[in-house]
Structure 1
Amino acid sequence: MSDFLHHFEKIKVKDQAIANYLEQIGIEKWSRANFSVIRYNIMTSNNAESFNNTSRDARKYTITTLAEFLRYTLQTWFFERRTLAMESNKPLPKKIEKKLEDRIEAAKILIVQPLSHYKFYVIDGDRDGQVNLQIKTCNCRRFDFTGLPCTHALAATLSRRINLYSLCSWYYTVDSWLCSYAETIYPVENEE
C-alpha cells in the first residue's frame, strides 16, 4: 500500500486533474492495492482475445456452421485442458509450481523473526514483510492480492515447516482446474 501511495503522490504532483479524476471514479476500481476482492492475478481478457483470434476466419461462415465451429473449438479446449490437469502429479499446475519454486529460492536467504505462532517479521534487505499465515496476509500485499504466498510468507513457512500448499488459494489447484473443465460439450445431433 505504501508503494501505491508513493506513486499516487507522484501523479498528484504531475497532474492534479488526473489525480482528482482517478479518485472520483474510485481507486478501488483500478488500483490492485485497493481491490476489495482477490483477483488471483488472472486477466480474463486473454481468454477472450484467444477465442477471438481462433474464430476470426469462422465469422464469415453461415450461422449454423459458425455455431458448430465454436462448439467444436470449446469441446477441444475443454478436453485438452481436462487431460492436462489429469496428468498433473502435483497439487498445483506446472506454471504455479515454477512460480513458487522461484519464490522459495529467494525466500531461503531471508531472515525470519517469529512474532507469534502464525505471525512473522521477515527481513529481505529491501522491503521487509509482516506475515500472518493464519489469515494469509503480508504487508507487501502480494500474498493478499494473488492468493499465492509471497516470498516473505514462504520464508515464514520454511522456518516453521508448514505445508506451503495449505497457503495457496484453492483456485490455483489442479482440483479447481479440473472443476473448471469438468463439463462435457456434446455435438448437436441432427433432427430427422
Structure 2
Amino acid sequence: MTTNIAKSLNSMLLDEREYPVVAIFNSSAHRFGEIFRKRYEEVNNSRTPFVPIDKKILRENMTEGDKLYVNNIIGSTDEFTVLDCGSSSKVNLLIRSWSCRKFDSVKFPCAYAMAALRLKH
C-alpha cells in the first residue's frame, strides 16, 4: 500500500498497459466496481453504520475512556470535567465540544467524550 495514488493505480493496471486506452478505462471501472461492491457488502451486512476501522477507533477510545475519572461539578446532564493523570478536560456533550480538540480533527468522540458518555448513560 502506498500513499501515492498514481503508483497504486499503476500497480493495479500492470497487465493492461499494452491495451488501448478505452480498454484500460473499462478495466479500471470494472475493478473499482468490484472493490466498491465488496466494501458495500461489508458495511451493509454489519449491525452498525461504521466500517471496521471506525469500530476499532471507537473501541480503543472506549477502553481508554474507562481509565479516566469523570466529574459532573455543575450538575448539568451535558457538561463534565474529565481528569487524566494530572490534566483535565472539559466536555460538553450537547454542543459536541471538548477541550482536547481531537473531535475537530478525526470527527470521532475521543476517550474524554467516551468517559463522559459512560457516566451519562
What percent identity do the matched residue pairs reach? Answer: 26
- d(CA) in 2 for partners of 1:97 and 1:136? 19
Counterparts in 2 of 1:59 and 1:128: CA distance versus 1, 3 Å:
farther
How far does residue 150 in structure 1 lie from its aligned partner after superposition? 0.4
Q: What is the match of residue 68 of structure 2?
A: 110
Is 1:88 equivalent to 2:67 in the alignment? no
Divergent runs of 4+, >6 A? none
Q: Superposition pairs for residues 142-153 of structure 1, below 5 Å?
A: 142-153=102-113
Counterpart amino acid of residue 78 in structure 2: Y
Q: Which residue of 1 aligns with 2:28?
A: 70
Question: TM-score if structure 2 supplies the norm length?
Answer: 0.82
Q: Secondary structure at the match of 1:131?
A: strand
Per the TM alignment, residue 79 of structure 1 is displaced from its structure 2 partner at its CA by 1.2
Contact 1:121 1:130 in 2 (8 A): yes
Greater Cα offset, 45-54 or 62-71: 45-54
Whole-angstrom distance in 2 between the partners of 1:105 and 1:66: 46
SS in 2 for 1:88: coil
Change beyond 3 A, Cα 1:126–1:63: farther
> For each residue in 1:123-145, what CA deviation from the matched residue of structure 2 results, as whole angstroms up to 9, or x when unmatched?
01154211111121211111221
Say if 1:126 and 1:97 are closer, same or farther in 2 by CA, change over 3 A.
Answer: farther
Name 1:124's counterpart in structure 2.
Answer: 84
Letter in 1 for 2:54: I
For 1:60 and 1:130, locate their aligned partners in 2 and report how far apart those are by CA, in whole Å.
Answer: 60
What is the aligned partner in structure 2 of residue 134 from structure 1? 94
Q: Aligned partners of 1:145 and 1:126: how far apart in 2?
A: 24
Aligned residues: 117
1:31-50 to structure 2, matched below 5 A, reads 46=3, 48=5, 50=8
- Secondary structure of the 1:128 match is strand
Secondary structure of 2:91 counterpart: strand
User: 1:120, CA displacement in angstroms?
Assistant: 1.3
Contact 2:91 2:99 in 1 (8 A): yes
Aligned-CA RMSD value: 2.2
Following the alignment from structure 1 to structure 2, what is the Cα–Cα distance between the partners of residues 158 and 50? 42
Superposed displacement of residue 76, structure 1: 0.9
Structure 2 alignment gaps of length 5 or more: none
